[in-house]
Structure formats: structure tokens, C-alpha cells
């Protein structure tokens, strides 16, 4: 039997090739559909559309599997480091010890920001949301690093990728420092990527800052869990922006803007705010009823996913990391008990069972981040910091593809058909 897909439209039959990837659903290559039939496909929200070919990240949403370059996220989170995963995403293979050392060294050499960029922060209100600052400052990088914006040059692409990964912690920590009115702390390249970020965020010039290794490890693991996630909304935004030839700093700023929304990266902030609003476990049933009520816009934040119809494997690691951090810092948070109980009740409720709604990565992350000392407004910033490597890896993959074209979807037009202009005095 032919491996083609057959489409009958009117009296005509058309065939389209079915293409197989290394794993996952086959795709129907419909690139000739419009030329042959004069019709478009209609798929708002891209629920059935593969927008590109990619060898980076694979998700099996039914089984709760997430692989980066073939490696399961659980193994990477337990055994690897964020720098190692960054190398893997950018280069396709795990690094040798020498390659990892060189890569970490290169990244550490790019951690500083142009001094004039630091003055940029002062133009923001003190109470600006740090994601607003992130959109602005990351976009502004294009004005400072012209020497790495020739996207046709692979060396430029590599330098800009390294710069973005390296500078993101400095930019994020400065956004935090500005909001609390403390001086910016310059990077210390003798520390790890994550240790350096912790110091720039929580250190002050007046005192020596000791990095807590358990917190450092936990945050590094959170960064690994957020490093990439296939063609999600912000990654698709980065690819679409990049498809026009825009420079990488502008593309990543576009990704940050998309990530900010509560249905995407903003869900970690929304999830913790929701847990605070629920407060004690006795109030959970009321909120579960609200989440099920079609006339109430309330949703359980940190629950449900477009792709996962099973437990998000990142949520599993996140839950165990909460316990580790609490133990190390010798703290507890009653909201963790509320979260555990909410999960238990929701997972036994027919509404959530039927719709296959499980906790996602954002359900527990806020509890850890808050225990470490981050305010809720910084949660999505941390997501953006970690996702930057995935965004630049995806952007590089797209630009390196010789068949790359500008992204240009079409539409189902439902507005008025052609009509004559009516002069103002006749309306
Ligand atoms: N609480 C209550 N009902 C829900 C929820 C929820 N969190 N999520 C989905 N549903 C219902 C929804 O009302 C719909 O019901 P019906 O079929 O009766 O209309 C059904 O489940 C399918 O939902 P959908 O909105 O059509 O599914 P989607 O794939 O478009 O949305 C989602 C996925 C993640 C936006 C959604 O589950 C959601 O809004 N969750 C809360 C926000 C959240 O936690 N986002 C973080 C996602 S993971 C991190 C990231 O990738 O950024």
C-alpha cells in the first residue's frame, strides 16, 4: 500500500506524501495543497500542525516522555548540569570533559553587560514588572552587539548564542536588583553558571555571599527542566521572528514577550498566586468546583498541557526537588501541603480524569523558587533565563536549514467582501 495520504475534494483526488520522523507521529506533507487545490488547511492553535523539522526535543504527551537529543529529561535533571544540557542542545551531543570545560569557560567570558546597558535599567519605573524589563533590555542587546548580528555567518550565530546564554543571568539579576533598590552585583566567573546567578541576585557588595550548594543544585535542575520544550508558543515565536531574518537578540526578546502570558511561562507566577488565594486545604473543593464551571474563567494554574495528557515528567522532578530544598534550608511551606492535596483531589476528580489534566512543570516550581527567596514576579524571568538556550538552539537549527523560508500562515477570511467607499457626508 502506498504511503501517501489521499484527499478527495470535489470530484478530484489528490495524494500527499506521508513523511516519518525518527519517532512520533508521521506528518502529511501538504506543501503543494494550495497550488493543487486552491484550498488552505485550517488549524487555529496549531493542534495538528508540524510547523518545522527539528532534531532537538521530542515529547510523547500520552506517555509523559520528554527527550532532549534523545536523552530523557529525568536522567538529565538527576545526573547532568545546565551547562552540559546547554552544550547538548546547541551542539547535538553530550560534551567530553574538555569540551564542557571550554564551553563553560566561553560562556563565563560573556557574562558581563556593556556598561551603558546597565544605565538602561534606570529608565524603568522601580515597580516595573521584571518581565517588562527583560523584554526591553534583551531587545536592546541588538543595539550593543552589532558584531554578532550577521545571521548568515555561522560564527556570528555562535557568538550571539553564547552571548545570550551568558548574559541572561546578569540581565535577570539586574532586573531584580533594580526592583529592590540594591546595587547591581557584577558577575564572578569563578562560580558556576547558576552559583553566579544566585550571587548576582542575592549578594550585596557589603557582604561575602556563600552559595548554598543544595540551592545551587536545585536551581540548576530547574534550569535544566525549562531548557527546551519543542515547538511551544514562545519557541514558535522565536522561529517566526527569526524567519524574517531579524537579529537573534530581537528574536529572543519576542520569545520573552510571548512567554510572559499566563497560559505559558506566566503560569508559574499565577500558580503560586492561586495557591496563596486558596490558602488552606479545606478551601480546595470550592476552587475545584470553580475550575470545572464553564461560566467561571478560573482555571487551575499549573494544571493541564497542550501536549501532555499524562503527568508532566518535569513536574515529577520538581516535586522531589521541593522536598530537597525544604530539607536543606530547614523550612516548610504550608502551601506545599495545599498543593499536594490539590493535586490529589484533582487527579481523583472525573472532570480532570476525563480531560487528562495533570500537574505541569509550573505547579511546584513556584514553591521552590519562593523558598529560595525569589518574589513571584521573578518566576517567569527564571523560565526565560533557562529557555534562552532552547530558543537559540531552535533559532540556529532553523537558520542553518538551507530550505528555510519566512513563516507566513494564511487565513480563513470572514470579513466583508469588496465594497465601495462611502464618502463621510453620506454616512
Ligand atoms: N483547569 C480547568 N480546566 C482546564 C484546565 C485547567 N487548568 N486546562 C484545560 N482545561 C479544560 C478546558 O476548559 C477545556 O475544557 P472543554 O474541552 O470542556 O472546553 C479542556 O480542558 C481542554 O483545554 P484547552 O484550553 O482547550 O487546551 P489547550 O491545549 O488549548 O490548553 C493550557 C493548554 C496549558 C493552556 C491549559 O491547560 C491551561 O490554561 N492551563 C493552565 C495554565 C498553565 O498551567 N499553563 C502552563 C503550561 S506548562 C508550561 C509552559 O509550557 O509554558
Structure-block grid coordinates of residue 53: 523539522
| Half-sphere exposure at residue 295, Cβ-oriented, CA atoms within 13 angstroms | 0
Kindly give, in sequence order, each residue whose CB lies less than 8 Å from that of residue 277, ignoring residues fewer than 6 positions away: 287
Alpha carbon nearest to ligand 1 atom 37, residue: 304
| Sign of the Cα pseudo-torsion (18, 21, 23, 25, in order) | negative
129 catalytic per annotation: no
What is the Å distance from ligand 1's center to 384 Cα? 21
- Write the pLDDT tens digit of every residue in 157-184: 999 999 999 999 999 999 999 999 999 9
Pairing of strands 57-60, 65-68: antiparallel
Cα distances (Å, whole numbers) of residue 317 to 77, 78, 199: 8, 8, 24
pLDDT at position 403 over 90: no
User: pLDDT band for position 309 (50/70/90)?
Assistant: very high
pLDDT at position 2 over 80: no
The fraction of the chain above a pLDDT of 70, given in percent, is 100
pTM of the model: 0.93
Alpha carbon nearest to ligand 1 atom 15, residue: 355
Atom of ligand 1 nearest to the CA of 47: 29
- Write the pLDDT tens digit of every residue in 79-134: 999 999 999 999 999 999 999 999 999 999 999 999 999 999 999 999 999 999 99
**Residues in contact with ligand 1 (CB, 6 Å cut-off):** 229, 232, 263-265, 267, 291, 299-306, 355, 357, 360-362
- Return mean pLDDT, the chain: 95
Active-site residue, selected from the candidate residues 286, 305, 349, 401: 305
Atom of ligand 1 nearest to the CA of 232: 51
Q: So what's the pLDDT on residue 175? A: 96
Q: How far is CA 3 from the centre of its chain?
A: 35
- Write the pLDDT tens digit of every residue in 263-305: 999 889 899 999 999 999 999 999 999 999 999 999 999 999 9
Alpha carbon nearest to ligand 1 atom 49, residue: 264
Amino acid at each position: 500500500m502506498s504511503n501517501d495520504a489521499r484527499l478527495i475534494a470535489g470530484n478530484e483526488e489528490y495524494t500527499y506524501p506521508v513523511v516519518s520522523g525518527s519517532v512520533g507521529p508521521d506528518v502529511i506533507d501538504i506543501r503543494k495543497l494550495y497550488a493543487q487545490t486552491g484550498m488552505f488547511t485550517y488549524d487555529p492553535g496549531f493542534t495538528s500542525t508540524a510547523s518545522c523539522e527539528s532534531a532537538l526535543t521530542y515529547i510523547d504527551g500520552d506517555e509523559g516522555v520528554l527527550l532532549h537529543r534523545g536523552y530523557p529529561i529525568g536522567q538529565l535533571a538527576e545526573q547532568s548540569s545546565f551547562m552540559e544540557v546547554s552544550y547538548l542542545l546547541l551542539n547535538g551531543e553530550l560534551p567530553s570533559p574538555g569540551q564542557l570545560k571550554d564551553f563553560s569557560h566561553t560562556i563565563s567570558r560573556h557574562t558581563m553587560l556593556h556598561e551603558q546597558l546597565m544605565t538602561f535599567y534606570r529608565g524603568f519605573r522601580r515597580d516595573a514588572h521584571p518581565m517588562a524589563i527583560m523584554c526591553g533590555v534583551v531587545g536592546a542587546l541588538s543595539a550593543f552587539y552589532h558584531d554578532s548580528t550577521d545571521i548568515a555567518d555561522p560564527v556570528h550565530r555562535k557568538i550571539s548564542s553564547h552571548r545570550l546564554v551568558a548574559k541572561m543571568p546578569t540581565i535577570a539579576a539586574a532586573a531584580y536588583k533594580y526592583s529592590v533598590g540594591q546595587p547591581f552585583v557584577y558577575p564572578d566567573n569563578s562560580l558556576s553558571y547558576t552559583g553566579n546567578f544566585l550571587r548576582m541576585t542575592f549578594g550585596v557588595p557589603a557582604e561575602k555571599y556563600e552559595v548554598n550548594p543544595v540551592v545551587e543544585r536545585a536551581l540548576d535542575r530547574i534550569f535544566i527542566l525549562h531548557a527546551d520544550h519543542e515547538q511551544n508558543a514562545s519557541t514558535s515565536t522565536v522561529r517566526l521572528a527569526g524567519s524574517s531574518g531579524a537579529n537573534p537578540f530581537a528574536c529572543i526578546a519576542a520569545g520573552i514577550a510571548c512567554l510572559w502570558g499566563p497560559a505559558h511561562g506566566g503560569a508559574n507566577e499565577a500558580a503560586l498566586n492561586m495557591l496563596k488565594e486558596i490558602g488552606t486545604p479545606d478551601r480546595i473543593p470550592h476552587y475545584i468546583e470553580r475550575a470545572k464551571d464553564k461560566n467561571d474563567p478560573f482555571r487551575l494554574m499549573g494544571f493541564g498541557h497542550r501536549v501532555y495528557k499524562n503527568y508532566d515528567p518535569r513536574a515529577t522532578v520538581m516535586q522531589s526537588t521541593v522536598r530537597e530544598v525544604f530539607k536543606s534550608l530547614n523550612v516548610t511551606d504550608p502551601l506545599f501541603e495545599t498543593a499536594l492535596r490539590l493535586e490529589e483531589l484533582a487527579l481523583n476528580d472525573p472532570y480532570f480524569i476525563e480531560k487528562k489534566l495533570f500537574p505541569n512543570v509550573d505547579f511546584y516550581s513556584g514553591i521552590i523558587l519562593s523558598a529560595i527567596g525569589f518574589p513571584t514576579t521573578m518566576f517567569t524571568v527564571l523560565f526565560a533565563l533557562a529557555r534562552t538556550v532552547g530558543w537559540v538552539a531552535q533559532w540556529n537549527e532553523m537558520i542553518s536549514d538551507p530550505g528555510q523560508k519566512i513563516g507566513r500562515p494564511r487565513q480563513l477570511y470572514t470579513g466583508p467582501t469588496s465594497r465601495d467607499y462611502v464618502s463621510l457626508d453620506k454616512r
